[in-house]
Amino acid sequence: MIEEHEEGETVCDSGTALVEGCRLKVRMSGTDDWPEAEIISIKDENGLRNYYIHYLAFNKRLDEWVTEEYLDTREVTFPKRDGSTAPGTGAATPKKLISSRPQSPTIVNNELVNGSAVLQAALQKKMARKRKANFLENEDSQDGTTQQPTAGPRPTGSLVAHHHDDVVTRMKNIELIELGRHRIKPWYFSPYPQEMVNLNCIYICEFCLKYRKSRKCLERHLAKCNLRHPPGNEIYRKGSISFFEIDGRKNKNYAQNLCLLAKLFLDHKTLYYDTDPFLFYVMTEFDTRGFHIVGYFSKEKESTEDYNVACILTMPQFQRKGYGKLLIEFSYELSKFEGKTGSPEKPLSDLGLLSYRSYWTHTILDILLNVKPVGENNEKPTITINEICELTSIKKEDVISTLQKHNLINYYKGQYIVTLNREIIDQHMAAMEKRKIRIDPKCLHWTPKDWSIRAKW
């Protein structure tokens, strides 16, 4: 029975009247919260109806299957008859995307500067040209404060509209993966072959990243697999940390398997089979068994937008240990070797944005705090934005936006002045003390290649 309530709203006495696209309050598993949610899919299992739920104000990694007792059917908003839903749900009609320069190598499946009008106008012009529209939706991401198990998601995150998703790609399709000693619950959809999707667990070789249906199959594979590190050149080693450079053309299978694995934990990128235009930098941790993948970033061999990172990920079991900042620091170290400034490709995930903002802030503050006074009279130290860019390889827009975000730059008597207060200095010092692992440029053995002069990759 359905009773009309208001325009578009109804009261249901049973979940059987619910359809895909309905919005209602749902109790989030493990909490007493009843946030508004959208029903993405419905299925019957053993006579029990299950609903795949997306919580509208939360990141998709918290989407889940629930049963009827989790639903509050007193107020339900049904989808319009034309199938459309309110903006921001991500349920818009999927569109086919064609791009000659894919965002990332993956696989397609079925405050203002006070008084500064001039600086702001210039900044906006550049950013409008280079940013993608939906990057702005990530601008107010908040870090979670509740400690979660290493294999699980954080409880909060920004809401990103997924305008090009269909129902299939909006739903997690892998229950569990086993990678080395770790069992991890995926966060998002990844287009593994259909025969892998209905399994309780996918078993992945942690060295070559091939996937198998059972532990027995994996054991047979491991008896034959002679890889104990990523199949590329080791270009950095300090202590137990190594970085390997993998060419997406020369090691296509590994690159595609890496993309499939990464897509389980990245929701903001499109997957492509064509990995040829990309390099992959895989960070590993060494022990007696071999070099274990910690995280990676990919990078276009040639980027017209000066992107120095396409995709970046720290594996969930290694998050909150400083490895994300180490990946970012390494990407900028490569840019320094190239003599360029660089920036990550947008949009960033909510966790990626937090990591980059933190890295930019502390790197720039390090420079500002070490600027020496000039002249015999120890006048106030001076430094230009361009000099900061040259020293850090951080793109000018990112330097300016970082200074603005922390209200560090002000317009005074015809010039821009950076003002550092004691509080931000103390916060910076405390944060830098926590960063136990850093990139040592002396341990990087790498020569940039000029890909533009090569006939093919």
95-99, 118-122, 349-353: the lowest-pLDDT one: 95-99
Helix (H, G, I), strand (E, B) or coil at 413: coil
Catalytic entry in 38, 206, 333, 345: 345
**Strand 202-204 relative to strand 177-179: parallel, antiparallel, unpaired?**
parallel
More confident of the two residues 12 and 369: 369
How far is CA 291 from each of CA 186, 288, 319, 376, rounded to the nearest angstrom?
Answer: 22, 9, 17, 53
Q: Is the pLDDT reported for residue 209 higher than 80?
A: yes
User: Residues 93-109: pLDDT tens digits?
Assistant: 333 333 333 333 333 33
Distance separating alpha carbons of residues 316 and 294, to the nearest angstrom = 9
What is the per-residue pLDDT for 138? 33
What is the per-residue pLDDT for 168? 81
Q: CATH 1.10.10.10 occupies which residues in the chain?
A: 358-426
**What is the pTM (predicted TM-score) of this model?**
0.76
The DSSP code sequence of 158-227 is -----TT--TTTTS-----EEETTEEE---S-----HHHHTSS-EEE-TTT--EESSHHHHHHHHHH---
Q: CATH 2.30.30.140 occupies which residues in the chain?
A: 15-77
CATH number of 358-426: 1.10.10.10
Contact 41, 171 (CB under 8 A): yes
What is the per-residue pLDDT for 23? 96
Q: Is the pLDDT reported for residue 439 higher than 70?
A: yes
Q: CATH 3.30.60.60 occupies which residues in the chain?
A: 175-227
Q: Which amino acid is at 37?
A: A
Question: What element of type H or E holds 282?
Answer: strand 278-287
Contact 378, 82 (CB under 8 A): no
More confident of the two residues 374 and 449: 449
Return the exposure string of 339-367: e unless at least 16 CB atoms fall within 10 Å of the residue's CB, then b: eebbbbbbbbbbbbbbbbbbbbbbbbbee
The CATH class that applies to domain 15-77 reads mainly beta
What is the per-residue pLDDT for 351? 80
Q: For 263-281, what is the mean pLDDT?
A: 84
Q: Does residue 345 carry a catalytic annotation?
A: yes
Q: For 196-219, what is the mean pLDDT?
A: 95
Distance separating alpha carbons of residues 420 and 378, to the nearest angstrom = 18
pLDDT band at 375 (very low <50, low <70, confident <90, very high): low
Q: Is the pLDDT reported for residue 406 higher than 60?
A: yes
Sign of CA dihedral 300, 304, 307, 312: negative
Is 3.60.10.10 the CATH number for 175-227? no
As a 3-state breakdown, the chain gives helix, strand, coil percent values, each rounded to 5, of 30, 25, 50
119-123, 205-209, 231-235: the lowest-pLDDT one: 119-123
Percentage of the residues of the chain whose pLDDT score is greater than 90: 58
Half-sphere exposure for 12 (CA within 13 Å, toward CB) = 20
Question: What element of type H or E holds 360?
Answer: helix 350-369
Distance separating alpha carbons of residues 223 and 209, to the nearest angstrom = 15
Average pLDDT in the chain: 80
